[in-house]
Amino acid sequence: MKKTVLVSGGAGFIGSHVTVELTQAGYDVVIADNMSNCDETNYKGVCAILGRQLPFEKIDFCDSAAVEALFSRYTIDAVIHFAAYKAVGESVDEPLMYYKNNLDSFLNVLEAARKHGTHVLFSSSATVYGEPEKTPVTEESPRQEATSPYGNTKQMCEDFLRDCVKAYGMHGIALRYFNPIGAHPSALIGELPRGVPNNLVPFITQTAIGKRECLSIFGNDYPTPDGTCLRDYIDIVDLARAHVCAVTRMIEERMDKPYEIFNIGTGRPLSVLELVTSFEKVNNLKLNYRIAPRRPGDVVAIWADPTLANEKLGWKATRTIEETLASAWAWEKHLAGRA
């Protein structure tokens, strides 16, 4: 019998790609979203890629009665929780908004999952490692005190899941993403930043298309080979596939222990300058950029040791940085054509 996965925040950047991969892998997916930070673009794109309408529920996960009603309406085997605020700077200015939204919503998911015997996958972040002492980081690398309320909600939600698994006999996985970038090869779904993008790749594509005048590279005097920061950029489709592997591992009861954590990255560090140069080369264009002062709070260098995910999930990043950066550019052009 087909298994059903509930994807909270399923109309967003990562949620929409995960929905596509889950459906193509044979799962029934229920998308749930309050549409507070996106429009219908990605939902429509998902349906266009799959050639059919998927069940969509407009709900706010902070509404516990609505969450319970949703879990009662469908037989849900696993829930993947993406529904959360995600702007680091905004979280510093509005901590209460971030704590209320990101914590309440996940507590409601956990409560319903406990009652209905649902497996839980939480979307965590490499931000929990802070500035690591040793790179690459493994899942055993220590978490550092969060430098923003956003980062703190990721750590707290990981702990909520760990404790609920322990107390209630549930099963849960936290995936710690490195830097998700790119778009679906169809160019029908992708990232839709509101206002001025904070993240590097949307800023690059918006500069290339002429929406932004100039990309600022934040610092070239870091202790790295070319002086710019090092990150592990993971293709969004590769990242989405990791969720299929993790959900399947839970549903097929192949877990080594009831709560597991996996790094989802490529294991390859890339500097900001290398990424910019690759983008120019693969898309055959020149990007207007300048070196700017360091951005406060930036980590110098972090990349994943993805061995555990490779071995236990049977997952590996497969897309090249060239494919990924071409997909990001195709998506920006798709958006420009639409506007």
As annotated, the active-site residues are 150
Binding mask 165-194 for ligand UD1 (x = CB under 6 A): --------------x---------------
CB of 215 to ligand UD1, least distance (A): 6
Secondary structure class of 324 (helix, strand, coil): helix
Give the helix/strand (H/E) hosting 217: strand 215-218
In this chain, which of 285, 297, 311, 336 binds ligand UD1, going by CB under 6 A? 297
In degrees and rounded to multiples of 5, residue 210 shows phi and psi of 100, 5
295 makes contact with ligand UD1 (CB under 6 A): yes
CA-CA-CA-CA torsion for 329, 330, 331, 335, nearest 10 degrees?
A: 100
In this chain, which stretch among 29-37, 101-109, 215-223, 329-337 interacts with ligand UD1, using CB under 6 A? 215-223
Binding mask 38-57 for ligand UD1 (x = CB under 6 A): --------------------
* Closest alpha carbon to 311 in 129, 158, 138: 138
287 makes contact with ligand UD1 (CB under 6 A): no
CB of 87 to ligand UD1, least distance (A): 9
- Considering beta carbons, is residue 5 or 202 the nearer one to ligand UD1? 202
Q: Are 266 and 316 in contact (CB under 8 A)?
A: no
In this chain, which of 216, 224, 307, 310 binds ligand UD1, going by CB under 6 A? 216
* Closest alpha carbon to 61 in 123, 131, 147, 132: 123
* Closest alpha carbon to 106 in 124, 87, 81: 81
In this chain, which of 198, 220, 224, 310 binds ligand UD1, going by CB under 6 A? 198
151 makes contact with ligand UD1 (CB under 6 A): yes
How many secondary structure helices (H) and strands (E) does the chain include? 11, 13
203 makes contact with ligand UD1 (CB under 6 A): yes
Q: Which residues bind ligand UD1 (CB under 6 A)?
A: 88, 125, 127, 151, 179, 198-200, 203, 215-218, 229, 231, 272, 295, 297-298
